[in-house]
Amino acid sequence: MFGVRSATVRFGHTLALDDVTVEVPGGSVVAVVGGDGAGKSTLLRALVGEVPLDGGTVEAPPKQRLGYLPASAGSWAALTVRQNIDFVAGIYGLAGEELTARRAELLDRASLTPAAGRLAARLSGGMRRKLGFIMAIVHRPALLILDEPSTGVDPVSRIDLWRLVSEAAASGAAVLMSTTYLDEAERAAQLVVLDSGRILVHGSYDQVRAGFAGVVTQTDEPVRAEWAWRRGRAQHEYWPGADPPPGTTVVAPDLEDIVIALSLVRRNEVLS
């Protein structure tokens, strides 16, 4: 199985990954969630072989069986959509009729056929991410690594991208993607929440919900400000061990509540 075991990465004095273990089984999507600086890109780049580990091990296929969409560009601005695909396909030895068929298939799936002759520089953000995705998957990789494929992408293209990602998994690829959006993580078979280089929680959404201990209440006046956060006009408050005071409204926590509550546990531990 692909993944990293007890991976640790240091950049100077910063611990970018701290004892992180993630498995990426074939035929499923694993989503890595976290904000800016959580360690998502470092984890992905460690799997691609772009970042050496200071500790732990990486299990990844050889380059020719690996597909990678980096967080930036992922395509050449001065080439057309078709030229971008052909260039990458050439690196993997795809040519002739096989390339023509594969290119047509991928362009069609990504709804990019009408834009095949357009310069990548002149694509919308969503179209450019879809092109990057096609280039990452043109050689049918066994492990597909996608760094924030949907960031800055409009909602309609985002649905297109999810369909393409799902399709890759349904045809057997192991997919590891990062995202800053929790609703995307909910959709993945497995989610991994990273916070300052450490795993805050992982598992399927159902497992994460089932494993969450404590109670979340909804209130206008939180009792302990350091355990409360905003949700719309009201605030939510986390009671990790003790029961909440009588008369408070208990809510069923969603993924956002769970991730905030666990982040607060870590932060309040650090402070105390």
Give the nearer residue to another protein in terms of CB position, either 88 or 236. 236
By beta-carbon proximity to another protein, the closer residue of 64 and 163 is: 163
- Nearer of residues 88 and 194 to another protein, judged by Cβ: 194
Residue whose C-alpha is closest to residue 32's, from 157, 259, 167, 190: 190
Q: Please name which of 143, 201, 195 lies closest in space to residue 17, comparing C-alpha atoms.
A: 195
Q: Whose Cβ is closer to another protein: residue 19's or residue 186's?
A: 186
Give the single-character DSSP code of 141.
Answer: -
Of 86 and 256, which has the nearer Cβ to another protein? 256
Whole-angstrom Cα Rg for the chain:
21
CB of 260 to another protein, least distance (A): 5
Q: How far is the CB of 105 from another protein (least distance, A)?
A: 12
Reduce the DSSP state of residue 86 to 3 states and report it.
helix
- Give min distance, CB of 117 to another protein, in A: 20
CB contact set of 207 (below 8 Å; sequence gap of 6+): none
Closest CA to 189 of 4, 26, 31: 31
| 183-218 residues labelled b (16+ CB within 10 A) or e (exposed) | ebbbbbebbbbbbbbbbbbbeebeebeeebebbbbb
Q: Which residues bind another protein (CB under 8 A)?
A: 27, 29, 34-38, 124-126, 151, 154-156, 158-160, 162-163, 165-167, 169-172, 180-183, 186-189, 195, 204-206, 229-233, 256, 259-260, 263-264, 267
Shortest Cβ 235–another protein spacing (Å): 8
